[in-house]
Each structure stands twice: as structure tokens, then as C-alpha cells.
Amino acid sequence: MRLRSRNVGLFFVLLLAGGCGKGQIFSASTLDPLGLRWKFAGSPEPLTIGLCYENQGIFDIRTWGEQTPWALLCQDLEEHFQRPVKFENLSPFQLAFHLTDSKAIDLALVSAADYLLMTAESPVGQVLAVSKDRVRQGVIVAIADAGISSLADLKGQRFAFGPKDDRILHLATLAALKQGGVEVSDIKTLLPERLQHHLSSIEAAKQVVYVMGTDAGVVEADEFDAYAETGGRWFPLPVVFSKDQFVELGRTEKLMVETIGEGPFVAGDHLDAELKDQMRAFLMEAAKAHPEAIRAMGFARFEEAPADLEAAMRRLAEAAEAK
């Protein structure tokens, strides 16, 4: 029954995303495909954001399941601006037209290469920020008071992995453990030949620090590096982690997340200055205030637009082409 439900969800994603053509507005999630939430809120004017992507990496529709990559970002933007937010996938030339002439698109998130295509004939809108793609890495940790000081000490221990077959929180972690002398057969299992997997890095960290029985695991490096030095707590909610709760034992290889190439978040000239300022502030704080939404898009953060924007975009486009 669960498999059938997921297939129904994927069907509606395909239905909503089919064609990706002009005028095709995507729902943020199949959980609210008709935008009914806002029907009872006076139907405020939606904020429309254009995307330009191919079905690759995070934006491969086959991997979406029950929600799109931008679902969390859409929800956070709706909460912040108290108005519906819609995403639409268009070509660079369509985005340029709808940002300037038709004004059907309010904002656009594009790669540097696509931005150069958009602005080849004339300037388009105002750049509010520039995205930085995410590089994933796992940090292998142990709880600070367990007396574990090296990877070799993990033999015979239970270990909290991330999702099964996750390239960093499972597979790369196994490789790092093996390089440190710990075979998969050395890890204590919950059931015969059943390793301990968790839905996310956060859940793995909770298992290590706040649940008895598992003294080591792996967390995302960008999460771990953002922990404060002290102050971790279970209560009051939300759960907070700090570096002094852990001992870092090693790190996995790095992996560049395949997503939209680094590039600008553009606002149409028809948007008022106050809304532009609010959106810029949202983007600059998003990595800290909305980390799950940013990671779901494959980004590490947004940065201030450089002074020499065109030169910076050309460098980013050339670097992406060389990968």
C-alpha cells in the first residue's frame, strides 16, 4: 500500500511538472496541488519564481517522490511573506521576457551561464544574491564521554548511519571506516546483518548524543561545522547540538551536489524596493534560518552579489563548463 501511495504521489508530480512550458505553474508539493491553503486566506497575489534546470541530479524528476526539490523553500517563503509562492521552469529567454515584458515572473533563480543568456541583449532585473552549490562531506563522530578516540575504537560498537545507500552518510562512511581499519563486519548491528540507519544526519546525531546504546555515527559536515562550541541540549525544544558533545574521529570524501549551477537570484524591476530588500535578507540568512530548505535545493548558501557581476558570472560559467 505504501508503494502504491508513493506512485500516486509521483504521478501527480509528473502531471504538474509535465511539459515545463510557458505558463506552466508548478505546485510546491503534491500535498497541496491546487493551492487550497490560500483559498481561505483571501487569495493574496502569488509570488512567482522562475527556474531554469534540466532533469539532472536533485532536479531529476524520478527522484522527487512526494514533493519537489523546492517544496521546503516554497513553504518557508510562504510563511515569511504570508502569500502563496509558485515555481515555474522556463528557458533563459522565456525568463527574460516574463521578468521584463509580461511581468508574469517576479523572481528567477538561474545558473551563471543561463543568466548570461538572459542578459545577452539587454539587462534583466536586479541580482539580489548568488547561490553557492553544496559540497557534502560526512564527519564521523563519537559521544564525548565514551572513551572513543580513533576509528579503530569503533570495532564492536553500534554506529548511526544516515539513510541506506546515501552516498555520504552510508557508502562514503563505510569507505572511510574501512580505510581506518574497520570493516562492515566489525560494526555491531541491531538485527543480524542490519546496520543502524536514520532518515537524516540530525536523527543520527540525536541517536549518538541523546539515546543510550549507540556511541558513534556520522553527521553532515556543514551541520557539524555550524554547531556552537558549547550549549547542546535536549530540552527545551528544539534539540540543539554543540561540538563539545562529540569527538571527531575522521571525515569522508567530499561530494559536489549535482544541482542548478551557481548563479544569481534575480528580481524583476516591477517588484517594489521593500519586497526586494526583504527577499535579499531572507536569502542571506537562509543557510542558518532555513538550512533544510537550502540543502534540499542543493545549495550551501546565498552570498552577496559581486561588484563586477558580469565578470563573476563569466568565471562561474567557465568553471561549470570545465567540470
Q: Which residues have a Cβ under 8 Å from the Cβ of 65 and sit 6 or more positions away? A: 6, 9, 10
pLDDT at 5: 33
Backbone angles phi, psi at 27, to 5 degrees: -75, 150
Write the pLDDT tens digit of every residue in 211-259.
Answer: 999 999 999 999 999 999 999 999 998 899 999 999 999 999 999 999 9
Q: Three-class SS of residue 239?
A: coil
pLDDT at 36: 61
Question: Whole-model pTM?
Answer: 0.78
Between the CA of residue 88 and those of 5, 48, 254, 286, what are the distances in Å? 25, 7, 31, 21
Cβ atoms of residues 51 and 94 within 8 Å:
no
Rg (CA), the chain: 22
pLDDT at 39: 62
Cβ atoms of residues 108 and 210 within 8 Å:
no
* Cell triple for 119: 542578459
| DSSP string across 17-62 | HTT--TT-PBPSBTTSTT-GGGGGTT-PPPEEEEE---S-GGG-GG
CA atoms of 185 and 147, how far apart (whole Å)? 22
CA atoms of 223 and 115, how far apart (whole Å)? 30
